[in-house]
Amino acid sequence: MATNISKITLLFFFLSLALYACVKVEPWDYDPATIPANFVPLKKPDPGTGYNLHVPAFPIPANFEREWFMRVPIGNTEEIYMSGYEVKQREGSHHVIAYQYKDEKKVGLPKIGEMRDQNQADGRLNTFSNMENMNLLAEAASPYQRVDFPEGFAVPIAANSTLDLNSHYFNKSNQTIFGEVSMNIYTKPKSAVKYFLKQQSTDNIDVLVLPAKKTTTIEYTDIFPEKRKLKVLFSHMHKRGKKFEVYYVGGPKDGQLMYSNDNWHDPKFVYLPDFIDIDKGNGVRTAITYENDTNREIRFGVTSEDEMGIFFYFYL
């Protein structure tokens, strides 16, 4: 009997050590006193002109990429009309994206205020709710960005909406750094809105394969299932993306260039003076040139060492 107790005790001891070790390697713990006091969040919009979302400082461990999602309430008790947005972040950000849920009543939405990390402490991918129920609402790849839609244009947001914020930081240094996100959503009264925009995107996830030590252009065609009138265009790629081009497919402008951007970190937002009409059965073709300077094949992925090619647009 004593031997059995000894074995159980020993087993419990080693389990405790294992659990303790797991806690010790958890990289999210930090001393609040080490947060640099060099970040001033955006000033909140005046009542009736917008809403402020703020994620306080969070750690990014040394030599680590941290990407997370967090569902946050906007605070609007009635439908609002977003006419623009402003983002300010601590240095080191790859991007911050605010996603709007297509269906706020869908079963299984993430808990409000819970930070869902893309990766575990050891770098392995976490499993969490995917983005099938989301549309991009706002995006910024630089520490500061301000976007204002043309006069009379806005994106409607239903009453009591939440957004899923997605922040991505990479830390190549040997010490912990901190990220922080401050975002303002600016609104206009419904009477000042003539056009109510929707959001959509197309990506090359199914075809993006970059051979080692080669410059490659990846093309992808997206045919629209209904007529769309495009108004605002912008793109997203990672650091090995050198040129992002979008062409008309079908119609009188078939093959003509629609959009071009060569800055992966600060993508060009194009506010079209007139709508681009794309009829049902026509669409767009993205042609993105990448330079893979590594000795490995690169595919579509979420880290800064992977690549992406996403064309975003707001339309009627």
CA 226 centroid distance within chain: 26
pLDDT in tens, 259-270: 999 998 888 889
Quick one: pLDDT at residue 8? 44
Quick one: pLDDT at residue 1? 39
Q: Residue ranges per domain, the chain?
A: 32-196, 198-315
Q: Compute the distance between CA of residue 299 and CA of residue 292 in angstroms, rounded to an integer.
A: 10
Q: Name the one residue in this structure whose structure tokens are 């713990």.
A: 29
Quick one: pLDDT at residue 125? 60
Task: Judge whether residue 23 has pLDDT over 50.
Answer: no
pLDDT in tens, 112-171: 998 888 766 665 666 554 556 788 899 888 899 999 999 999 999 999 999 999 998 989
Greater pLDDT, 305 or 81: 81
Quick one: pLDDT at residue 75? 96
Task: Judge whether residue 27 has pLDDT over 90.
Answer: no
Quick one: pLDDT at residue 6? 44
The fraction of the chain above a pLDDT of 90, given in percent, is: 63
CATH class of 32-196: mainly beta
The residues, ordered by sequence, that sit 6+ positions from 293 with a Cβ below 8 Å of its Cβ are 213, 240
Quick one: pLDDT at residue 132? 66
Q: Per-residue pLDDT averaged across 233-244, rounded?
A: 94
Give the CA distances from residue 255 to residues 208, 286, 296, in Å, rounded to whole numbers and listed in that order: 21, 11, 33
Q: Compute the distance between CA of residue 287 and CA of residue 217 in angstroms, rounded to an integer.
A: 6
CATH architecture of the domain with range 198-315: Sandwich (2.60)
* The two three-digit tokens of residue 264, written as one number: 């992966």
* The two three-digit tokens of residue 238, written as one number: 């990672």
Q: What is the DSSP string of the chain?
A: -HHHHHHHHHHHHHHHHHHHHHHHT-TT---GGGS-S---PPPPPPTTSEEEEEEEEEEE-TTEEEEEEEEEE---SS-EEEEEEEEEE-TTEEEEEEEEES-TT-TTPPPBT-EEESB-TTSPBP----STTEEEEEEE-SSEEEEEPPTTEEEEE-TT-EEEEEEEEEE-SSS-EEEEEEEEEEE--GGG-SEE-EEEEEE-TTT-EE-TTEEEEEEEEEE-SS-EEEEEEEEEE-TTEEEEEEEEESSTTTT-EEEEE--SSSPPPEEEEEEEEE-TT-EEEEEEEEEE-SSS-EEB-SSTTSB-EEEEEEE-
Quick one: pLDDT at residue 95? 84
Kind of pairing between the strands at 298-299 and 209-210: antiparallel
Mean pLDDT estimate for the chain? 87
Asked whether the domain spanning 198-315 has the same topology as the one spanning 32-196, the reply is yes
The fraction of the chain above a pLDDT of 70, given in percent, is: 87
